[in-house]
Amino acid sequence: MAHPSGPSGPLLRGEPESYWLSTAPASPDSAYPPLTGTGTDVDVAVIGGGVAGLSTAWELARAGRSVAVLEAGRIAAGVTGHTTAKVTALHGLVYARLRRTRGPEGARLYARSQAEAVERVAEVAALLEADCELERRPAFTYVTRPEGRGEVREEANAAAQAGLDATYVERTGLPYRVEAAVRLDDQLQFHPRKYLLALARDLVARGGALHEHTRVTGLDEGTPCRVTTADGAVLTARDVVVATHYPVFDRALLFARLSPRRELVVTGTVPADQDPGGMYITSEGGTRSVRSAPYGDGRRLLIVTGESFKPGTADVAARFERLAAWARERFPSIAFDRHWATQDNDSTDTVPLVGAFHPRARHTWVATGFGGWGMSGGVMAGRLLTELIGGRRPPWADLYDPRRLWTQVREAPAFLRHQTEVARHFVGDRLRPGGADAVAGIAPGTGEVVRVHGRHCAVYRDEDGTAHAVSARCTHLGCLVAFNAAERAWECPCHGSRFAPDGAVLQGPAVRPLERWEVGE
């Protein structure tokens, strides 16, 4: 591929495309049928076919449970299909924070559970002989500012105290200067979709069921539980696991403890001798993450992630350009080939929420809030939930328990900041100016929220000039959506639901599409 003529080059000339999806594409022959009928009965129903859902289902099937996975789209094609796929127990600067908020024992349990998840990926990949481009690489958390040395040294000490073989270093394989970094060797990177497709095949071979294009819209926590879909199918199960990245049911009020965040990804090839030889992340500049992947022909694929922002709140095209410019400045020979975006949910108290769905839950479980570290977190969740469903309680169960009350005081400032931001959008966005005449001013390929006959209307004009109008109220909790022109999607800034221009659900927690409206020109 020719080098681009500018910082972003051809990136924004085409639609966003995940490298993982394009190099392990879904085909009709590999599709799993939607759930139909009302007579299906299993031990465990798993809602969500990403890394957390598939890992949980596979672990349960291996333990002898009958399992069915229900996925709204295609398995391993949602959030997991757009990850940067770093599998590591080094999660930014988390251990110093955990040592302060959970004590040394809490940090130690977090480190042990995450490190075991890393090794579980290597073990399963070998067991299944998965051709998933698994590589061992060191992971680094670094700073380029001299004033950041202290926090990096503190993190290295905290991670080591937690049981990781972490070290403080001042040299890395990056082609630019860093002031300090935490280094953790023998971590993993892989092709997430190839790994999960292998997991899915083995799950079916063990008697598990997979159902794609099956959007779950109802959950009855009876005995047994009953799961219903948008098409009217019903599945009964003794236990139900909600692993939809952001929970699609609000009965646990977890939406108040989760903050959605999007990050952008640009990829391109570099000569193999320019491979930085590790996985790197810094919180500077709105986050910058770098790692490479096999590509062939004497080249490596460079994967650069960053520009963290709330869904529906940013000029995404400009952010793509900034990220591409940053990558080109530091890797001048990069030949860009793809770009896409990923979405994560941060819990207000740092630790993922994995365990019983709510205080009164007996047979419903949840896995969410992985904070950008869903590869190790999702595998950890699969093992933890399998143990809990089997009546066993690993040492770190309390650490991840969604019902934990002892962290409420500690997480209060983050909780209040999140709720203040949600309230600002819920109220302030309704004061947007606009009117019927604004519809005519919407350019092809763009979208705007306008007022039509007193109602907020989300209008997208396609390249042919036809206007497509839907309700601007998110079907989750009613916040107003905003248009992401770079990805051509309506996004909710409150809880991260995303919709296609015609209102179809792209990403939850919403499960219902935006209502279609008619507007005059």
Q: Where are the domains of the chain?
A: 22-83+193-256+350-406, 258-345, 436-517
Return the pLDDT at 418: 46
Return the pLDDT at 369: 95
Q: What percent of the chain has pLDDT over 70?
A: 89
Is the alpha carbon torsion for 201, 207, 208, 214 positive or negative? positive
Q: At what angle do helices 51-62 and 374-389 cross, to 10 degrees?
A: 40
Cα–Cα distance for residue pair 233/244, rounded to 1 Å: 19
Q: Residue length, the chain?
A: 521
Measured from the Cβ of residue 145, the count of other Cβ atoms closer than 10 Å reads 11
pLDDT digits (tens, 9 = 90+) for 218-257: 999 999 999 999 999 999 999 999 999 999 987 667 778 8
Return the pLDDT at 105: 97
Return the pLDDT at 15: 74
Q: What angle do CA 271, 275, 278 make, to 5 degrees?
A: 165
Per-residue burial over 69-102, b if 16 or more Cβ lie within 10 Å, else e, is: bbbbbbbbbbbbbbbbbbbbbbbbbbbbbbbeeb
Please report which residue ranges of 129-219 form alpha helices under DSSP H.
Answer: 149-161, 192-205
pLDDT digits (tens, 9 = 90+) for 167-177: 999 999 999 99
Bridging pattern class, strands 67-70 and 86-87: unpaired
Return the pLDDT at 29: 63
- The verdict on domain 22-83+193-256+350-406 having CATH code 3.40.50.2300 is no
- What is the full DSSP assignment across 85-135? -EE-S--TTHHHHHHHHTHHHHHHHHHHHHHHHHHHHHHHHHHHT--S--E
Return the pLDDT at 219: 96
pLDDT digits (tens, 9 = 90+) for 405-434: 765 555 555 545 544 554 444 444 444 554
Return the pLDDT at 521: 55
Cα–Cα distance for residue pair 151/148, rounded to 1 Å: 6
Question: Which residues, in sequence order, are bridge partners of residue 302?
Answer: 268, 292
SS3 252: coil
pTM: 0.90
- Averaged pLDDT of the chain: 89
The token pair at 45 is 């129903």
Structural domain 436-517, CATH architecture: 3-layer Sandwich (2.102)
Give the residues of the chain that fall short of pLDDT 70: 1-14, 27-30, 251-252, 406-437, 519-521
Helix H or strand E segment including 210 = strand 209-211
Residue type, 461: R
Region of 484 on the Ramachandran plot (φ > 0 left; ψ -120 to 50 alpha; else beta): beta
CATH placement of domain 258-345 = 3.30.70
Per-residue burial over 396-432, b if 16 or more Cβ lie within 10 Å, else e, is: bbebbbbeeeebeeebeebbeebeeebeebbeebeee
